[in-house]
Amino acid sequence: MHQDSTAPPCQPPPEVPLSEAAAEDLVHGICFKTGPPRLVGAELEWLVVDAERPWIPLDADRLTAAHDAAGALPLRSRFTVEPGGQLELSSAPARSLTACVDGLQADLTAVRGALGAQGLALRGLGRDPRRPYRRLLDSPRYRAMESYFDRTGPAGRAMMCASASVQVCVDAGLEEPGPLGHGRRWRLAHLLGAVLVAAFANSPAHEGPYAGWRCARQGIWSDIDARRALAPPLDAEPRDAWTRHALDTEVMCVRSCGPSWQAPDGLTFRDWLRTGGPRPPTRADLDYHLTTLFPPVRPRGHLELRMIDAQPGEDGWLVPVAVTHALFDDPEAAETAYRVVKALADAYGGRRAPRNRLWRTAARAGLADPDLRAAAVACFAAAAEALPRLRASTHVSDTVGAFAERYVLRGRCPADDQDQRQPAGKETRP
């Protein structure tokens, strides 16, 4: 959610208005760029907290100073700030897991050092328990986003200002069928996604609408509006399904030279194409609209898996990155993972993720659910066998193994540790 551009110039070069057919062709053509899987990437979101008193909210000046210090570093990753002040590092596409992990680890070490000098720290937690939720960034995009989400309730502000994740990016896959084919990988992402939600759940809630959930962050995302955070229908052809989904989702903002980017209530991008109002849409408007869609798996040429909570500890983040990469890009592990998660398809049913029974069970129960636990055990075992084939370092393999021993094999997730540290009802003091 870090794409935050400035307003377009007041006298931009003229653009030809986009037709509905052209828009469909564009989305259809760019959503899956097929070929042999070669690249992996990750985007890490963190809460910024006081190192000694992590439960206290930080004022805007202190957060801004932290962002300035981190942004001044010579990082290899892209550094951005989320609306509530969460810090994000996005790796460059890497040709190996080792290159991806090493680059992020080096940047995180530098960022932690800069923040530590100010008495601050990074905290990996899927949902910030501190209140109130406050939007730090003031830009036309985020003003329009906040106004849009306020129409449907408080979940939108919580998503913007209080959520953090580990996002893993893998290539779309081959055009032809098979374990590395893009159709198989698309389906795998949505079935395996529930297992990843359960295994890495790290946003427990003790009160409110998600009380008792292991992954309250998923509840927040599923409630932001009627369509924006949903997956397309799983059994439809992926390109066609995503194209329809993208064009039939409401427009969040219409960029302009002025301070207000608010869009008319209820206007889908397809409506905009057909009516031409409030002004004719262009290719740039379509590109921007696609950045405002937040499904659990977003096709951006590659596949962006967005369902994993931010993880605790200095190295917790590398476990979902390594496991996901192994289960997608090692052919043997991919075949095993697909065979395992196919058994979960009945629970997925006809409803779209994350609102179907499988995903909601994962968010509520984590690995306490026996079917998800069995799937996670098998998938982690397949990933552990694949990591040496992918030339993962001993440190990565050992960290994945330690996570499996501590959580997966015991039917636990990181949220269970949070429960032990935080008495029920103490939402503001983790």
* pLDDT tens readout for residues 47-76: 999 999 999 999 999 999 999 999 999 999
Residue 382, classed as helix, strand or coil, is helix
Q: What are the angstrom distances between the C-alpha of 125 and each of 23, 54, 194, 416, 427?
A: 38, 12, 18, 12, 13
Residue 137, classed as helix, strand or coil, is coil
Peptide bond into 132 cis (omega under 30): yes
For the chain, the straight-line distance linking the first and the last C-alpha, in angstroms and rounded, comes to 25
CB within 8 Å of 193: residues ≥ 6 apart: 296, 297, 305, 307, 353, 359
Residue with tokens 């993880």: 311
Residues of the chain with pLDDT under 50: 1-3, 5-7, 9, 423-430
Q: Model pTM?
A: 0.94
pLDDT for the residue numbered 277? 87
Question: How many residues comprise the chain?
Answer: 430
Return the CA Rg of the chain: 21
- Tokens coding 75: 């990082």
d(Cα 381, Cα 72) in Å, to the nearest integer? 41
**Is beta strand 78-81 parallel, antiparallel or unpaired with respect to 40-50?**
unpaired
Residue with tokens 């042999």: 36
